[in-house]
């Protein structure tokens, strides 16, 4: 692959630096695209970087650098601006190099070796399998899948992983909720608590159990409720009332396990497998696939949780208080110490999380990326602390936070509580607006920024709908290429020199930016930069298409314009593929 224009320009500037200040030859050179296109195609602040070392005025250094730049057909001009910036304006033929690069490289245009094929694990979604995925989970799924595609495109060896929380209290609550609905359907009435899982999917799972096992799992209400503490008045929502309901729920779980014996494992497994299968199917339909589905339960079954906690103790990072074992997480910047094993001997969620991260590092990943909901922000310090306490390199872990999306339908904000069952599922959202709109709208904001999902806009066929606007640009180009009916392979040899109007050169410059956008987006874990870029590229194309004819009589100009349009189409495809969005050929 030939060096792109930015790399060639960097080389010219490096030669100028060696001539002006050889002692500063190792100074990194940064080239950026000016926000104002009248300032040229690239700019550098190299002179300002050198000012302190050379003890000279940066503007004077900039003048020296400009004078020392070797003559090159790439450059139309290089000039000093402001306090010492150097602005570069490329020659038209240099801008057009990107067009030919796109046509030659095709679906590989924009790929880089930034990651050096290092192994990176991206863990995302990882929602408790206690109910259908909602629109908040959808944003994490879209972000994680797009990021995985992006890092693969940028030269990383990516493993996509879902951490299945199949151990612990939440799964017990789902199992109990399913059993209580089963008892209800069998005529045994047990008060159904507000802190149990309420959705219709629980009734569906209960009905499946009844079809499969009849009355086999029925137990008398007196036995189910035996020894359970009293419940507060239904209208109470204070902390004490919540505590009482939790105690009642835990007592019901204990009774269920005792009364059902070995059958409790069936109830638990049935609820887990049904919800996990639904989650997997939902994600696959959304275009989100995982290489690994990692079981939390496996951490306990293999003894890794116990080994991990014992290892922390041997390293002197645990202490015992009131019968429980505590991790000294304040030593590592956390706001308070954390329990890893309760006085009853049970390990906490945090203990299994530490073990899971130990497992990730033992699997040999060079980089580990956790995608968490923004409400887990406070969790970062304690996990980093535990990794450091295990004598592992915490810098290999990076946490990307995702704000939940807020869906508005008819001006009303939709509730998203899985426990209550009053939520909008990802499946419902996809059915209403389509996968493409879902994937693109989720990618329209930086992951840690608030997102209001505008349903009306997502469904509209207008220029204001960004995904429609981009796909329409692609479809327009397909239509032009079909009318042209020439040999696409021949376009790489087209004479691009006749493309000399400002709109055409602006599109060529925009195509060249794609490589930079990929590298920046991968470095910043920011797929939204690609969404912004595609929107801008589509805008440049639509403006050109509306101002100029593609299929002109002059064969040289016609083929050059077709080549430029084809390059735009390929770049749109490459970007949309990273975001998991389709590129229809007609609309």
- Give the domain CATH number at 502: 1.10.730.10
Q: 39 and 57: one domain? A: yes
CB atoms within 10 A of CB 362: 10
Count Cβ atoms below 10 Å from residue 98 Cβ, excluding itself: 24
Residues 269 and 173 in one domain: yes
pLDDT at 355 over 50: yes
Number of domains into which the chain is organized: 3
- 3 pLDDT exceeds 90? no
For residue 300, which of 138, 164, 439, 464 has the smallest C-alpha distance?
164
Cα(199)–Cα(203) distance, integer angstroms: 7
**What totals of helices (H) and strands (E) does the chain contain, helices first?**
22, 16
Answer with the one of 52, 72, 90 that is the final residue of a domain: 90
- How far apart are alpha carbons 529 and 453 in whole angstroms? 18
CATH number of the domain to which 23 belongs:
3.30.1360.70
- pLDDT (mean) for 326-347: 95
Verify that 177 and 233 share a domain, yes or no: yes
Q: CA-CA distance, 491 to 105, in Å (whole number)?
A: 12
Give yes or no: residues 108 and 81 share one domain. Answer: no
- In terms of domains, do 61 and 105 share one? no
Packing angle, helices 97-105 and 555-579, rounded to 10? 60
Last-in-domain residue among 276, 308, 338:
276
- Supply the pTM of this predicted model: 0.92
The verdict on residue 542 lying in a domain is yes
- Domain contains 131: no
Is position 438 within any domain?
Answer: no
Enumerate residues 6+ apart whose C-beta is below 8 A from 400: 143, 147, 369, 370, 371, 372, 447, 448, 525
Q: 168 falls in which pLDDT band (50, 70, 90)?
A: confident
Distances, alpha carbon 29 to alpha carbons 81, 143, 348, in Å: 17, 32, 49
Q: Is residue 182 domain-shared with residue 102, that is, in the same domain? A: no
**Rounded to whole angstroms, how far apart are CA atoms 404 and 330?**
29
Do 106 and 184 belong to one domain?
Answer: no
| Longest CA pairwise span in the chain (Å) | 94
Give 481-536 pLDDT, tens digit per residue: 999 999 999 999 999 999 999 999 999 999 999 999 999 999 999 999 999 999 99
Compute the distance between CA of residue 41 and CA of residue 555 in angstroms, rounded to an integer: 30
Q: Residue 1: what pLDDT?
A: 43
Q: Indicate whether 481 and 504 sit together in one domain.
A: yes
SS (H, E, C) 439-464: HHHHCCCCCCCCEEEEHHHHHCCCCC
Residue 409 has pLDDT above 90, yes or no: no
Residues comprising the chain, all counted: 587
Same-domain check for residues 182 and 269:
yes
pLDDT of residue 158 exceeding 70, the answer is yes
pLDDT in tens, 245-300: 999 999 999 999 999 999 999 999 999 999 999 999 999 999 999 999 999 999 99
Q: Say if 432 falls within a structural domain.
A: no
Residue at 431 is within a domain: no
- Do both 78 and 182 map to the same domain? no
Strands (E) located in 228-350? 292-295, 318-321, 324-327, 338-341
**535 part of a folded domain:** yes
Q: Is residue 457 part of a domain?
A: no
- Find tokens 């939902």 and name the residue: 282
What six digits make up the tokens of 520? 């920046």
**Same domain? 195 vs 174:** yes
Percent of the chain beyond pLDDT 90? 87
Please state, as a whole number, how many other Cβ atoms lie within 10 Å of the Cβ of residue 469. 17
Task: Please list, residue by residue across 401-436, b when 16 or more beta carbons sit within 10 angstroms of its beta carbon and e when fewer do.
Answer: bbbbbebeeeeeebebebbebebbbbbebbeebbbb
Domain limit, last residue, from 219, 251, 276: 276
Same domain, residue pair 557 and 516: yes
pLDDT score at 417: 55
Structural domain for 198, as ranges: 169-276
Evaluate whether residue 154 is within a structural domain: no
How would you write 15-78 as a 3-class SS string?
HHHHHHCHHHCCCCCCCECCCCHHHCCEEECHHHHHHHHHCCCHHHHHHHHHHHCCCCCCEEEE
Query: Residue 319: pLDDT above 80?
Result: yes
- Look at residue 412 in the predicted model and tell me its pLDDT: 80
């Amino acid at each position: 692959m030939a060096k792109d224009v930015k790399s060639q320009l960097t080389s010219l500037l490096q030669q100028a630096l060696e001539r002006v200040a050889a002692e500063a030859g190792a100074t990194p050179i940064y080239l950026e695209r000016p926000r104002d296109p009248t300032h040229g195609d690239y700019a550098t602040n190299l002179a300002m970087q050198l000012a302190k070392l050379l003890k000279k005025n940066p503007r004077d250094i900039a003048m020296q650098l400009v004078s020392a730049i070797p003559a090159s057909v790439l450059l139309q001009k290089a000039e000093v601006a402001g306090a010492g910036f150097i602005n570069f304006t490329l020659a038209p033929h240099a801008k057009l190099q990107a067009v030919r690069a796109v046509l030659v490289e095709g679906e590989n245009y924009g790929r880089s070796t930034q990651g050096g094929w290092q192994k990176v694990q991206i863990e995302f979604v990882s929602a408790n399998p206690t109910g259908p995925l909602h629109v908040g989970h959808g944003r994490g799924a879209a972000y994680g899948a797009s990021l995985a595609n992006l890092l693969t495109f940028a030269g990383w060896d990516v493993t996509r992983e879902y951490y299945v929380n199949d151990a612990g209290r939440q799964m017990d609550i789902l199992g109990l909720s399913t059993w209580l609905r089963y008892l209800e359907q069998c005529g045994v009435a047990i008060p159904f608590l507000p802190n149990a899982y309420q959705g219709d999917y629980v009734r569906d799972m209960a009905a499946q159990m009844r079809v499969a096992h009849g009355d086999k799992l029925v137990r008398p209400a007196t036995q189910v409720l035996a020894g359970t503490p009293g419940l507060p008045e239904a209208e109470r929502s204070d902390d004490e009332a919540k505590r009482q309901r939790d105690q009642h729920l835990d007592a019901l779980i204990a009774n269920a396990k005792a009364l059902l014996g070995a059958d409790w494992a069936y109830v638990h497994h049935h609820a887990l497998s049904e919800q996990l299968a639904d989650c997997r199917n939902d994600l696959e339909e959304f275009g989100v696939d995982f290489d690994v589905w990692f079981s939390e339960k496996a951490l306990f079954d293999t003894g890794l949780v116990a080994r991990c906690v014992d290892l922390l103790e041997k390293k002197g990072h645990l202490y015992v208080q009131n019968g429980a074992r505590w991790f000294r997480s304040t030593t590592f910047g956390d706001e308070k110490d954390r329990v890893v094993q309760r006085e009853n001997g049970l390990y906490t969620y945090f203990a299994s999380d530490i073990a899971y991260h130990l497992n990730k590092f033992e699997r040999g990943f060079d980089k580990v990326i956790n995608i968490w909901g923004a409400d887990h922000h406070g969790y970062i310090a304690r996990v980093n602390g535990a990794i450091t306490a295990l004598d592992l390199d915490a810098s290999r872990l990076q946490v990307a936070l995702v704000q939940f999306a807020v869906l508005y339908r008819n001006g009303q904000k939709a509730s998203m509580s899985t426990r209550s069952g009053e939520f909008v599922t990802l499946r419902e959202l996809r059915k209403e607006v389509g996968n493409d709109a879902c994937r693109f709208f989720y990618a329209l904001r930086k992951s840690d920024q608030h997102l209001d999902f505008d349903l009306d806009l997502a469904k509209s066929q207008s220029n204001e709908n960004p995904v429609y606007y981009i796909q329409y640009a692609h479809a327009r180009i397909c239509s032009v290429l079909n009318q042209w009916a020439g040999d696409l392979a021949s376009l790489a040899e087209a004479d691009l020199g006749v493309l000399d109007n400002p709109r055409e050169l602006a599109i060529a410059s925009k195509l060249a930016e794609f490589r930079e956008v990929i590298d920046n987006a991968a470095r910043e874990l920011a797929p939204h930069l690609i969404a912004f870029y595609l929107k801008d590229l589509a805008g440049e194309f639509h403006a050109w298409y509306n101002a100029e004819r593609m299929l002109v009589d002059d064969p040289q100009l016609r083929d050059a314009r077709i080549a430029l349009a084809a390059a735009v189409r390929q770049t749109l495809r490459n970007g949309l593929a990273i975001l998991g969005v389709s590129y229809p050929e007609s609309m």
